[in-house]
Amino acid sequence: MTQFPAALNPHQDDILKMLACQTHLGGNNVDVEMESYTWKRKDNGHFIINLAKTWEKIQLAARVIVAIENPADISVISAKPLGQRAVLKFANFIGATAFSGRFTPGTFTNQIQSKFTEPRLLIVADPLLDKQPLMEASYVNIPTIALCDTTSCLDGVDIAIPCNNRGKNSIALMFWLLAREVLYLRGTIPRNTTWSVKVDLFIYRDTDEEPEKEKTAAVAAAPVAAVAVETVEFTQTTTEWTAEN
Amino acid sequence: MADTTTAAQADQKPTRAFGRQPQRGAPQRGGARPQRGAQEPKSWVPVTKLGRLVAQGLIKNIHEIYLFSLPIKEFQIIDRFLHLKDEVMKIVPVQKQTRAGQRTRFKAFVVVGDHNGHVGLGVKCAKEVATAISGAIVAAKLSVIPVRRGYWGNKLGAPHTVPTKVTGKCGSVAVRLVPAPRGTGIVAARVPKKLLQFAGVDDVYTSSRGKTRTMGNFVMATFFAITKTFAYLTPDLWREVKLIKTPYQEHSAILSEKKE
């Protein structure tokens, strides 16, 4: 944290995005291992997550993801619906394999199962709800990255990204930031360019449950050019819908 | 002396046990062996990544697998690297009560080893003795573990005994293995002795505690003790070792090709 080169620092837009998505808002309690990621505790009891640390862990996680030669060997999982779209989009852009919905127990350990997979890396949206894949990963030597809240237990998690994993915007933003960082590292997108894909693409939508095609990515890109402060994100979702319909 | 006779007797023991059972056991057991041998080399289609790598010959030594603690799910992997002898330690009939009487199944304990540093222990329960035995052999192969041997005193010649005192526990049975000077032989009861012989340990003192008549627990306890020989951090292992890529990473390209 102290001696990183300036290039690794977050931009102001990134921090503003995080604040807008409320990724800094933790829960009422802290798990002992998450204590170092908190900044402060508000009067109402809620913890505030140190976004500098969130940024750092995203950087670290992205580097781990990039190190996997075959991106299809990366499994991204979200049991909870709030994270499913983000997980699918992430997998789309990175080339990973997404598991949404129920994680059938034995997917990593039962070699007889048709869905048997042997990933090299596991990314999980919530260590509590995605307990099953975390446990199975521990049986098969798979390192794990997880989006952890202040209340999350870090059993079986190798890299914890402290953030708010209860809000759909926050989850979306975290996966968006991860994806973007990976694409930067790979050189797919030049650094200091804004990524044409908007965070909105990763945000969970109640009505439409099917995974979308990449046309919508282009549509989402159309409305707004690189705007510094993205507090207007919520209205952009409506633009997207109208464009589709 | 006494060792050799017990070794000879041990082979006969299971058949004697069958004698007690209504003759289903004996003929099947004889029949099972030739079938097993014929199938293996031809029909194996690997299901796991590790299996694929081994089948292609990309992994030279089983210790590459042990180094990374990779779980071995297919017994053919072991067969590629090691020539193992197997021995049925015991067949126990176990029963479950049903409305229509008792349902008997047979539990087989099999020890597998190359008498030179690798042992495995397998337990399998099945309705027929032969199935139980072949299942137990598979289970034993999957559980094969490297055995670390060391010296009692001067480091002359090959390692012959356990490197340190180790103890394993299963159920109430605790088995302690203590290094012994060369020429001592395996000072142990029949059951752990068999296991230690298969492991390739030449000299040990043992001490056991608990209900050792529960053969299942007794064998497991010795097996755990033997497993611990490589889990123990001795000073000669203190030196840091360079990080090596795991076989999955090294052969990532080949593995990804096969999928498509």
pLDDT, tens digit (0-9, with 9 covering 90-100), for A168-188: 999 999 999 999 999 999 999
More confident residue, B10 or A192: A192
Which tokens go with A208?
């439409």
> What gap in Å lies between CA A236 and CA A211, rounded to an integer?
19
Q: Is the pLDDT of residue B9 over 90?
A: no
> What gap in Å lies between CA B250 and CA A183, rounded to an integer?
23
Q: Is the pLDDT of residue B192 over 90?
A: yes
CA-nearest residue to A109 within chain B is B73
Q: Which residue has the tokens 């997108």?
A: A189
**Best interface-test mutation with B: which of A68, A73, A109, A116 has the largest number of B CBs within 10 A?**
A73
Tell me the average pLDDT across B131-149. Answer: 96
> What gap in Å lies between CA A129 and CA A88, rounded to an integer?
17
What pLDDT is attached to residue A2? Answer: 58
Q: Is the pLDDT of residue B82 over 90?
A: yes
What pLDDT is attached to residue A129? Answer: 94
Q: From chain B, pick out residues whose CB is under 8 angstroms from the CB of A72.
A: 256, 259
Q: Is the pLDDT of residue A235 over 50?
A: no
- For residue B116, give the 3-state DSSP assignment: coil
Cβ–Cβ gap B249/A120 under 8 Å: yes
DSSP of B21-45, one letter per residue?
S-TTHHHHHHHHHHHHHHHHHHH--
What pLDDT is attached to residue B37? Answer: 46
Angle, alpha carbons B41-B42-B46 (nearest 5°): 85
Q: Is the pLDDT of residue A101 over 90?
A: no
**Mean pLDDT score of chain A, rounded to an integer?**
86
pLDDT band at B8 (very low <50, low <70, confident <90, very high): very low
Neighbours of B99 (CB within 10 A): 4
What pLDDT is attached to residue B260? Answer: 45
> What gap in Å lies between CA B39 and CA B34, rounded to an integer?
9
pLDDT band at A100 (very low <50, low <70, confident <90, very high): confident
Q: Which of B79, B88, B139 minimizes the C-alpha distance to B114?
A: B79
Q: Is the pLDDT of residue B42 over 70?
A: no
DSSP E strands: which ranges in chain B?
85-98, 101-113, 118-126, 145-146, 166-170, 173-179, 186-187, 204-209
Q: A132: Cβ–Cβ under 8 A, 6 or more apart, which residues?
A: A79, A103, A105
> What gap in Å lies between CA A141 and CA A222, rounded to an integer?
43
Whether this prediction's pTM lies above 0.80 is answered by no
**Predicted complex: ipTM over 0.85:** no
